[in-house]
Structure 1
Amino acid sequence: MPNLAFIYGKRFQSYFIELQRYMQFIISGHIAVVLLFVIGAAGYSYSQWLQNPPEDFPAFLVAAVALTLVVVPNRPALLLKQADHYFFLPMEQQMQTYLRPALRWSELIVVVRSLVVMVVTIPLLTRVGGLSSSMVIGLAVVVTILAIWNVRSKFYAFWAHDQVSVFDFVIRLGILFGTFYFFLSSNWIVTGLLGVIAGVYYFFMLTKSLAPFPFDRMIDMEQQRMQRFYQFANYFTEVPHVRSKVSRRAWLNGLLSKGNMHQFLIVRSFVRKDELFYMWLRLAILLVLVPFLSFSYVVAGLLVVFSFAIAIQTHQGLLFNQIFRMDMLYPRPEVSKQQVVMKLARLVSYAPLGLGAVVASLFHQPVLILVAVVAAVASIEWYFVRKKKQPD
């Protein structure tokens, strides 16, 4: 009879090696320098803002939201594989031997991540919110307990139901946010009541998970978790494990014109391809949010960097990716495809850049923002001119 704890240990070693393999491309030399610069600039802006914060700033509310957002979305890392449905089935009664170290590792990651965010919010809570040292220590204990509770509750919810429902997400979100906020506000009655609700909900899900272990659901959950990492790593290097996922997004049909069928198919490919569309959406949101940073030169630099990243990722994702695209059904020369892709890449790059520049001009020097826009446009056009001369 195989030792399931030993099997998990071997898988954890392979998993860690896999992460290291791709992290060396994600955190490469030049990216590490950029991250160091951005983190340093953000820390400097944060410290400068703390010198003279706005009156009646909702420090407890902001800290509660930040802690909730970092705790609530985490899924347990079970490291299950497709063949485990058959390999582990005869040993189903011993699955707890495998699951215990998996859940402990998942809890440790969430706890560390949550405590890092808590440490970042401590200057805000102490200087602006007036939180005492004893309350900071108590907050660390609450964050640790709720991070573990969230991982366990989500795991048992997956065990008990075909999928984690919106109801489960809302319950966990409400308990996490309410507990963090009312604890910081020293409202002990509501905090205690939410603690009781959290305990009752945990044991309710625990009793619901007495059914046979759902291998199919847990394996699918683990594969989805790894696919998100592979899709992120695919932005930096070629990842053979990544699988393209498409969504219909019929609500965008009215915005797409079928006058030029070739152009329609390429735009539709961009809209339906999840990793490409969500990449653009994330960067576009960042372009609109970075103007709220207080350090003007960092804002100007990020406008250029994010705009250039959108152009490169959109162009390469639609033109050089070997995954099937709908425009392949339309017999047009490759030069024509490249022209349509460049037109689309310009549109999805300049639109959020323009919106971000307008927002940035309200908080920073308009001349500096104008220089950043010109630099962004120049870098994007330089890239397209270079690719036009070297279409391969």
Structure 2
Amino acid sequence: MFNSQAFFKQRLSAHMKELSRYLRYMLNGHLMIALFFFISAVAVYYQQWLARLPEDFPTSLIIGVLLGLLVSYSPVRTLLKEPDLVFLIAAENKMHAYFRNALIYSFVIQLYVVLLLVAALGPLYFASFPERSGNMYLLMIAIVLIFKVGNLMANWWMLKIREPGIRQIDLTVRTLLNMTVFYFITQGDMLLAGITTVLFAGLFLYDFYVSRKQPGVVWDLLVEKDQLRMQSFYRIANMFADVPHLKNRIKKRHWLVSIVSRIPFAQSYTFDYLYRITFVRSGDYLGMYIRLFIIGGLFIYFIPNVWVQVLFVLLFLYLSCFQMMTLYQHHRTTMWLDIYPVGKDIRQQALIKLLFQLTLFQTVLFSLLFLIMQEYTGFIIALISGTVFTYLFMNGYVKRKLT
């Protein structure tokens, strides 16, 4: 007799073992130190910024948008795999306990994001509305959890709809309603919040009605969604350890390839060409490089202390270089690279050269931010310290890791 509840426990146990295996590499000492420094600096300047918060600051709008996005993003983790398309379809009428447990698991693993965001928005809420008691904010947290459950169930029901356009429209409307509800709650206008909640409840019941009219579970869609989420996790884990399950995404980007591939046609430049093309065309490295620069630039721009700004420059240079080091293992499963008549030292030098160029270019960009802010002393300090850090990091840590 097939027991779907026992099957879910087995699948969940295997899933947690796989996650813990990669999390051991991801939560290493380097990353924890960087995160500790990052969170500490943000907390200090967040409190300082709240102390001089302007009276007309749009707190309600910001909290409404963030909480609305938080509850709207409620994916369902089914833990299904491709073989299930063959072996479990016949047992679909016995999978109710499995999917019920999957919904509970999906809600529980998303609670940490809820707790982090409401904890971060709490000081802003009380700084903007000092006359309100803590019970009002606790009530808002309870409403967030209720809406989180509602959106999770609505997302699950909409996964029975094969047409992506219908699912996207439903998600967009629900997101706008969620934002509006929490905007009115933050404003203290409970009447309008109640009316918007009724509209959300109507859409919620409509999703339930539409899902009941569907013939059954769309198995291929569930497997596809779960695989996409696992691939996202693997791409992050691949920055810290080898992930054999990762499916690399390739993008053409012809104009960028034509720029970076202008190197001499010689045997000694074989890996220079390969690493440059990989950096540009892979779906991970270029996007990560740009995102780290944008996030670092925002912190540098909004933090008032020049010395802390320089520290953030060095922090994000370190993070960028550390993430790009995985280029060395990117082609580890491509066996034909072993027949290249190129020595290992040339391969290592090619990567070090590319990392040095990328990090130095990022140093220049961060330094130019100081010029835009008319912080001329900061520009000189950032440029010199970033260049020195790049040289020492490449010739110390990177070389030692590659050998």
Instruction: Tell me which interval the TM-score lies in, with the shorter structure as reference length.
Output: 0.7 to 0.9
Cα offset, 1:367, TM superposition = 3.2
Q: Which amino acid aligns with 1:79?
A: L
- Of 300, 312, 319, the residue aligned with 1:309 is 319
Partner of 2:367: 357
Partner of 2:145: 144
Is residue 85–residue 220 contact of structure 2 (8 Å, CA) maintained in 1? Answer: yes
Change (3 A) 1:30 1:344: closer
Is residue 270–residue 318 contact of structure 1 (8 Å, CA) maintained in 2? Answer: no
Partner of 2:50: 50
Identity of aligned residues (%): 24
Partner of 1:116: 116
Partner of 1:4: 4
Is 1:290 aligned with 2:299?
A: yes
Is 1:377 aligned with 2:387?
A: yes
The more displaced of 182-191 and 78-87 is 182-191
Is residue 275–residue 327 contact of structure 2 (8 Å, CA) maintained in 1? Answer: no
Cα offset, 1:184, TM superposition = 0.9
Cα offset, 1:213, TM superposition = 0.8
Is 1:38 aligned with 2:43?
A: no
How many residues align structurally?
392
Is 1:269 aligned with 2:283?
A: no
Is residue 157–residue 205 contact of structure 1 (8 Å, CA) maintained in 2? Answer: yes
- For 2:77, what is the secondary structure of its paired residue? coil
Partner of 1:208: 210
The more displaced of 360-369 and 46-55 is 360-369
Q: Which amino acid aligns with 2:365?
A: L
Unaligned regions of 5+ residues in structure 1, if any?
A: none
Is residue 158–residue 217 contact of structure 1 (8 Å, CA) maintained in 2? Answer: yes
**Deviation readout 1:275-326 (Å, 9 max, x if unpaired):** 2222223212222122123555443222112223323433541676425599
Q: Which amino acid aligns with 1:349?
A: T
Tell me the distance in 1 between the aligned counterparts of 2:354 and 2:66.
Answer: 35
Is residue 160–residue 205 contact of structure 1 (8 Å, CA) maintained in 2? Answer: no
Q: Which amino acid aligns with 1:183?
A: I
Partner of 2:227: 223
- For 1:245, what is the secondary structure of its paired residue? coil
Unaligned regions of 5+ residues in structure 2, if any?
A: 266-270
Change (3 A) 1:83 1:308: same
Tell me the distance in 1 between the aligned counterparts of 2:62 and 2:376.
Answer: 29
Cα offset, 1:102, TM superposition = 0.9
Tell me the distance in 1 between the aligned counterparts of 2:104 and 2:163.
Answer: 24
Is residue 64–residue 179 contact of structure 2 (8 Å, CA) maintained in 1? Answer: yes
Partner of 2:287: 278
Tell me the distance in 2 between the aligned counterparts of 1:168 and 1:332.
Answer: 55
Change (3 A) 1:357 1:177: farther
The more displaced of 175-184 and 351-360 is 351-360
Q: TM-score, normalised by structure 1?
A: 0.85
Is residue 308–residue 376 contact of structure 1 (8 Å, CA) maintained in 2? Answer: no
Partner of 1:154: 155
Change (3 A) 1:378 1:114: same
**Deviation readout 1:159-205 (Å, 9 max, x if unpaired):** 21254754344223312222221221133344233323322222333
**Deviation readout 1:74-98 (Å, 9 max, x if unpaired):** 4211111222112221211122211
Q: TM-score, normalised by structure 2?
A: 0.83
Change (3 A) 1:353 1:208: farther
- For 1:241, what is the secondary structure of its paired residue? coil
Change (3 A) 1:7 1:238: same
Change (3 A) 1:99 1:264: same
Partner of 2:190: 188
The more displaced of 81-90 and 356-365 is 356-365
Is residue 357–residue 369 contact of structure 1 (8 Å, CA) maintained in 2? Answer: yes
Is residue 68–residue 176 contact of structure 2 (8 Å, CA) maintained in 1? Answer: no
Q: Which amino acid aligns with 1:282?
A: R
Tell me the distance in 2 between the aligned counterparts of 1:79 and 1:307.
Answer: 36
Partner of 2:268: none
What pairs up with 1:215-254 in 2 under 5 angstroms? 215-249=219-253
Change (3 A) 1:320 1:264: closer
Cα offset, 1:146, TM superposition = 1.9
- For 1:357, what is the secondary structure of its paired residue? helix
Cα offset, 1:145, TM superposition = 1.7
